[in-house]
């Protein structure tokens, strides 16, 4: 008996509709600027377009939020924010840019990087004018996410010796939105409310499946004049069910991924069966801000098969629809194989005092780096296989912090399960190597070199700072599986690449290098600051930077 094919959750995208006369289309409604995708980037674009006098329509597959609402609500900001100063840290745009060059790796120009840093204080203040709140309280230890009541932290590799710069001492730049629990929902609610108050019109539970453009020559892109929208009927029972399913996806995506996937499929089935086609005119420009493509199996298989075993981070609409819409009119894209793989091993704050080794037993990274840096080295260079080696002293210190250190459940529970239930244990390195099926000689060499550095007999081969070194000369030893695909210790992944844009205004670029008239992109749909390496808060900060840039440019066309 043959099985029925699964419903695809990916938005169907059709070739652009080319027209000769814009009046030939029966437009349902129109605005100066049409924003496709209502996450942080789309909201910022809409707000900036409204502030510059444009009428705005915002379209979203669900009811707004996207990956931004599911995020930690951290905005990477520096250059001397009020909260840095209150916490006792000096910073400058020059110091911020010098550090970020380690993460950006030339994916945007130095001029764009500097402008991002120079605008950082003002962009944070702009968020505050729209209802977001920030604070200066800091955690006691480096962490993947600050505990309750802590809202400023070192969210990247700022304190790693190799990333420090002569332009200034390390400064914390992760600004978490003030909220209880995860802060992304509160940050987006502020932007959502501001969008509505600004007078922007919203079209929700609707997908854009096609761009409408004026006919042009084969080697020249035509102007984008509108979009083809498929919207669920207002008030219909299926439409109400669609909204309920989206809430369930957000609820279950972390603790019951299979249930969340089932809900996404049912929502997609409703879209495909009941959505009604209509057309919306854009007098000045269309802005694509639909997020990345982590939920597009075909694109993941094509560009990032090495990360398919990861735990996807994103909204249900992160299926690459904005990217694919741009490509239907000849837009160029790059860095699509760049995946941020989050292998955080802190907290517990003592875990980075151990060493990480690959499947052969060779150490391969400085353990104190930001989780996405460790994840990149693990997934891109070690085939996704690796172990964290700690001793019994570090184990009990870590257990104490998990029980009494005020960690989030998503931090403490996997760590406890790893140490108490999932660890490979042995009294000697040789026995441990046997259990890991690793090379005993390489494992011993890795640990002995790290121990010598901890005792001050040599420099650490990977540049670990002295305060993070620990002498593990005596067993027993534990090996914790940090590999991608470990269900006990999920490794989160998200996509980073996107459409090429003119960095001065966010206008999408054709493969020929020309700007595509009337088409802009922002957030993870576009190539931006986080498209090479990710640090916490950089994506949301880029959503503000690129979203405002696109909204301002589109309104001024």
pLDDT in tens, 508-555: 999 999 999 999 999 999 999 999 999 999 999 999 999 999 999 999
Q: By three-state DSSP, how is residue 304 classified?
A: coil
Q: At residue 423, does pLDDT exceed 90?
A: yes
Confidence class for position 251, pLDDT limits 50, 70, 90: confident
52 near 551, Cβ under 8 Å?
yes
Distances (CA, A) of 182 to 176, 232, 305: 9, 30, 30
Q: At residue 1, does pLDDT exceed 50?
A: no
Share of the chain above pLDDT 70, in %: 98
Q: At residue 505, does pLDDT exceed 90?
A: yes
Share of the chain above pLDDT 90, in %: 89
Domain boundaries, the chain: 17-71+184-237+277-340+494-555, 74-176, 344-481
Q: At residue 376, does pLDDT exceed 90?
A: yes
Query: Cβ of 269: how many Cβ atoms within 10 Å?
Result: 16
Query: Cβ of 380: how many Cβ atoms within 10 Å?
Result: 15
Confidence class for position 5, pLDDT limits 50, 70, 90: low
Reported residue count of the chain is: 557
User: pLDDT tens, 253-303?
Assistant: 877 888 888 999 999 999 999 999 999 999 999 999 999 999 999 999 999
pTM: 0.95
Task: Write the DSSP string, 439-468.
Answer: -HHHHHHHHHHHHHHHTTSS--TT---GGG
Provide the terminal-to-terminal Cα distance of the chain, rounded to the nearest Å: 58
Q: At residue 216, does pLDDT exceed 80?
A: no
Q: At residue 557, does pLDDT exceed 90?
A: no
Q: Fold for domain 344-481? A: Flavocytochrome C3; Chain A, domain 1 (3.90.700)
Query: Could you tell me whether strands 56-59 and 201-203 are parallel, antiparallel, or unpaired per DSSP bridges?
Result: parallel
Which regions of 232-297 does DSSP assign to beta strands (E)? Answer: 276-288
Phi, psi of 314 (to 5 degrees): 165, 170
User: pLDDT tens, 472-482?
Assistant: 999 899 999 99
Average pLDDT estimate for 359-386: 96
CATH number of 17-71+184-237+277-340+494-555: 3.50.50.60
Those residues whose C-beta lies under 8 Å from the C-beta of residue 120, and which sit 6 or more positions away, are 77, 78, 79, 81, 93, 96, 541
Average pLDDT estimate for 431-452: 97
Average pLDDT estimate for 134-160: 94
> What pLDDT is stored for residue 256 in this prediction?
82
């Amino acid at each position: 008996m043959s099985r029925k094919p699964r419903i695809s959750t990916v938005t169907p995208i059709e070739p652009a509709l080319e027209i000769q006369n814009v009046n030939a289309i029966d437009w349902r409604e129109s605005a100066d600027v049409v924003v496709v995708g209502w996450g942080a980037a789309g909201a910022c674009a809409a707000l900036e377009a409204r502030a510059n006098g444009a009428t705005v329509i915002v379209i979203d597959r669900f009811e707004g939020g996207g990956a931004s609402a599911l995020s930690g609500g951290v905005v990477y900001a520096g250059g001397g924010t009020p909260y840095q100063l209150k916490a006792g840290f000096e910073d400058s745009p020059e110091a911020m840019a010098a550090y970020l060059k380690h993460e950006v790796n030339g994916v945007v120009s130095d001029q764009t990087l500097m402008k991002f840093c120079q605008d950082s204080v003002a962009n944070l203040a702009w968020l505050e004018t729209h209802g977001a709140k920030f604070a200066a309280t800091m955690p006691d230890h480096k962490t993947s996410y600050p505990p309750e009541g802590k809202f400023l932290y070192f969210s990247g590799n700022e304190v790693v010796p190799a990333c420090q710069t002569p332009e200034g001492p390390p400064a914390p730049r992760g600004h978490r939105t003030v909220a209880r629990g995860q802060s992304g929902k509160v940050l987006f609610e502020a932007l959502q409310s501001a969008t509505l108050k600004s007078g922007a019109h919203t079209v929700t539970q609707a997908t854009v499946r096609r761009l409408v453009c004026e006919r042009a020559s084969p080697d020249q892109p035509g102007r984008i004049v509108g979009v083809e929208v498929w919207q669920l009927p207002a008030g219909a029972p299926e439409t109400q069910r669609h909204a309920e399913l989206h809430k369930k996806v957000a609820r279950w995506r972390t603790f019951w991924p299979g249930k969340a996937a089932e809900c996404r499929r049912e929502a997609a089935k409703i879209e495909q069966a009941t959505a009604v086609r209509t057309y919306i005119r854009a007098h000045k420009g269309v802005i694509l801000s639909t997020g990345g493509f982590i939920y597009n199996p075909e694109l993941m298989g094509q560009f990032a098969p090495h990360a398919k075993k990861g735990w996807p981070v994103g909204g249900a609409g992160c299926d690459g629809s904005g990217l694919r819409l741009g490509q239907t009119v000849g837009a160029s894209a790059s860095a699509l194989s760049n995946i941020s793989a989050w292998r955080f091993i802190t907290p517990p704050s003592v875990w980075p005092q151990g060493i990480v080794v690959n499947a052969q037993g060779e150490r391969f990274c400085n353990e104190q780096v930001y989780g996405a840096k460790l994840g990149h080295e693990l997934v891109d260079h070690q085939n996704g296989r690796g172990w964290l080696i700690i001793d019994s002293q570090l184990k009990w210190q870590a257990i104490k912090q998990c029980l009494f250190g005020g960690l989030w459940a998503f931090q403490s529970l996997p760590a406890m399960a790893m140490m108490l239930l999932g660890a490979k244990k042995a009294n000697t390195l040789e026995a441990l190597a046997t259990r890991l099926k690793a090379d005993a000689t390489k494992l011993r060499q890795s640990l002995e070199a790290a121990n010598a550095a901890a005792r001050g007999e040599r420099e650490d081969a990977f540049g670990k700072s002295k305060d993070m070194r620990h002498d593990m000369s005596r067993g027993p030893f534990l090996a914790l599986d940090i590999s991608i695909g470990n269900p006990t210790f999920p490794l989160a992944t998200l996509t980073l690449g996107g459409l090429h844009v003119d960095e001065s205004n966010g206008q999408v670029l054709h493969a020929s290098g020309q700007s595509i008239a009337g088409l802009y992109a922002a957030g993870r749909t576009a190539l931006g600051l986080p498209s090479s390496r990710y640090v916490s808060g950089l994506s949301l900060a880029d959503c503000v930077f690129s979203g405002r840039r696109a909204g301002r440019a589109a309104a001024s066309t």
